[in-house]
Amino acid sequence: MGSTLGSQQVSGQNGIVYAATTEAAGRAAVAAARRLVVKIGSSSLTTTAGGLDRERLQALVGTLAGHVGHDRELVLVSSGAIAAGLAPLRLPRRPTDLASQQAAASVGQGLLLREYAAEFGRHGRTVGQVLLTVDDVTRRVHYRNAYRTLRKLLDLAVVPIVNENDTVATDEIRFGDNDRLAALVAALIHAEALVLLTDVDGLWTGDPAHPASHRIDEVRSGDPLTGVQLGRSGRTGVGTGGMVTKVEAARIATGAGIPVLLSSADLAGAALEAEPVGTLFHPHPSRPSARLHWLAHATTARGRLHLDDGAVAAVVDRRKSLLPAGITGVDGGFSAGDPVDLVDTAGRPVARGLVNYDAVELPPLLGRTTADLATALGPEYEREVVHRDDLVLFTS
């Protein structure tokens, strides 16, 4: 028997109060979604030795094809490329160095796509490969291009198979796991639901081995997750995601108004039939603008602007634009148009925004009013450092 966390109306960092809806209604919304993103973790596709488990893949594809008909749109975010490459390369376990991981991904990605193409083909579905890097979702132009590609594939009734482009990613610019990638893809295409299929049966109130622990049926914004753990798992060693990444992915997607269901891959059919399995994360009642959601969750700050107390109050409390007078310091090598974090006097990020100046331009402007700058340097210096329309707050 699962349990339900209390739904206190408390927001954490970037937290949003969720819509008031019943658990049954939320699960029904996931099951009925006409545009669905499903993420499958490595451990759900591989053997305990690390190779690709074709029987499990076949079963999962059969379940998805059986529950998501041709009249609905399906995007599959699939891990498993690195794991699929282990056996052909005679690697006994997932390598820890990036070069070996990329080599395994290079071999495994083709094997994985071939299996998906064959299995979906048995159900009359065509698949297409979409490999994304962090730049594809963190840079606005690339983000729009990724949307257009996915949108066209869906218009053509193709099932996009999405994965991180492990062969070219670096340690500094990686998603790190496909949970976050799946959430960003769901927001990108305005999905109606996100299902995270893994080798665990949801979130639990504590160690699943403890008799007092229970599976958490549903989570709403502000629910305390201290002590929460992932459910029972019998397959380990090939994936990268954990409880933190799954909760973060749920926060990203629900913040875009998308319900999220975390469930065991073995219970995928039950999850897609609205049965009470896994953990349901309720969505926010309305979607923010795609641009601000992108800024909050898809971007990586290229620098930091240090604000005095007055500027923090103006930006956070009064929703004003950031002016040079309230900035006390600049970190980073950003260019105009890049995302930067705005931090308070203690160094805590309070907002993220798109900056209107290069980093090298700002130091001589700090602490000066826009009127003074316009008089001394010209009218082009009367502009805000970050306009309020290009700001998203990190609430606490």
Q: In Å, how far from its chain's centre is CA 363?
A: 34
The pLDDT confidence band at residue 236, using thresholds 50, 70 and 90, is very low
Q: How far apart are CA 229 and CA 252, in angstroms?
A: 19
Q: How far apart are CA 365 and CA 373, in angstroms?
A: 7
What CATH architecture does domain 301-393 belong to?
Answer: Roll (2.30)
Ligand-binding annotation for 240, yes or no, is yes
Q: How far apart are CA 286 and CA 309, in angstroms?
A: 32
Q: Which residue is listed with tokens 């056996």?
A: 87
Token couple for 245: 């990444």
The pLDDT confidence band at residue 171, using thresholds 50, 70 and 90, is low
Ligand-binding annotation for 152, yes or no, is no
Residue in 138, 229, 178 with CA at minimum distance from that of residue 44 = 178
Ligand-binding annotation for 243, yes or no, is yes
Determine the pLDDT at residue 115.
95
- Interval 194-200 mean pLDDT: 91
The phi, psi pair for 105, rounded to 5°, reads -65, -40
Q: How far apart are CA 83 and CA 77, in angstroms?
A: 15
Token couple for 360: 């090298």
Determine the pLDDT at residue 17.
36
Task: Check whether 382 has a pLDDT greater than 80.
Answer: yes
Residue-wise pLDDT tens digits, 123-157: 999 999 999 877 777 677 778 888 999 999 999 99
Residue-wise pLDDT tens digits, 327-347: 999 999 999 989 999 999 999
Ligand-binding annotation for 372, yes or no, is no
Ligand-binding annotation for 286, yes or no, is no
Q: What is the mean pLDDT of the chain?
A: 85
Ligand-binding annotation for 198, yes or no, is yes
Q: How far apart are CA 396 and CA 389, in angstroms?
A: 20
Determine the pLDDT at residue 391.
93
Q: How far apart are CA 118 and CA 174, in angstroms?
A: 29
Q: Is 223 exposed, middle or buried (0-12, 13-18, 19+ CB in 10 A)?
A: buried
Q: How far apart are CA 266 and CA 292, in angstroms?
A: 36
Ligand-binding annotation for 39, yes or no, is yes
Ligand-binding annotation for 242, yes or no, is yes
- Interval 161-166 mean pLDDT: 84
Contact assessment for residue 57 and residue 301, using Cβ atoms and an 8 Å cutoff: no
Determine the pLDDT at residue 98.
83
Ligand-binding annotation for 320, yes or no, is no
Which residues does residue 260 pair with via DSSP β-bridges, in sequence order? 194, 281
pTM: 0.81
Q: How far apart are CA 82 and CA 51, in angstroms?
A: 9
Q: Which residue is listed with tokens 């007055």?
A: 310
Which residues does residue 20 pair with via DSSP β-bridges, in sequence order? none
Task: Check whether 105 has a pLDDT greater than 70.
Answer: yes
Q: Where along the chain do its domains lie? A: 8-294, 301-393
Orientation angle between helical segments 178-188 and 243-255, nearest 10 degrees: 10
Q: How far apart are CA 268 and CA 264, in angstroms?
A: 7
Task: Check whether 113 has a pLDDT greater than 90.
Answer: yes
Ligand-binding annotation for 1, yes or no, is no
Confirm or reject CATH 3.40.1160.10 for domain 8-294, answering yes or no: yes
The pLDDT confidence band at residue 176, using thresholds 50, 70 and 90, is low
The phi, psi pair for 103, rounded to 5°, reads -65, -45
Instruction: Say which range, 32-41, 197-206, 227-236, 300-309, has the weakest mean pLDDT.
Output: 227-236
Q: Is the dihedral of CA 68, 70, 72, 76 positive or negative?
A: positive
The pLDDT confidence band at residue 168, using thresholds 50, 70 and 90, is low
Q: Is 171 exposed, middle or buried (0-12, 13-18, 19+ CB in 10 A)?
A: exposed
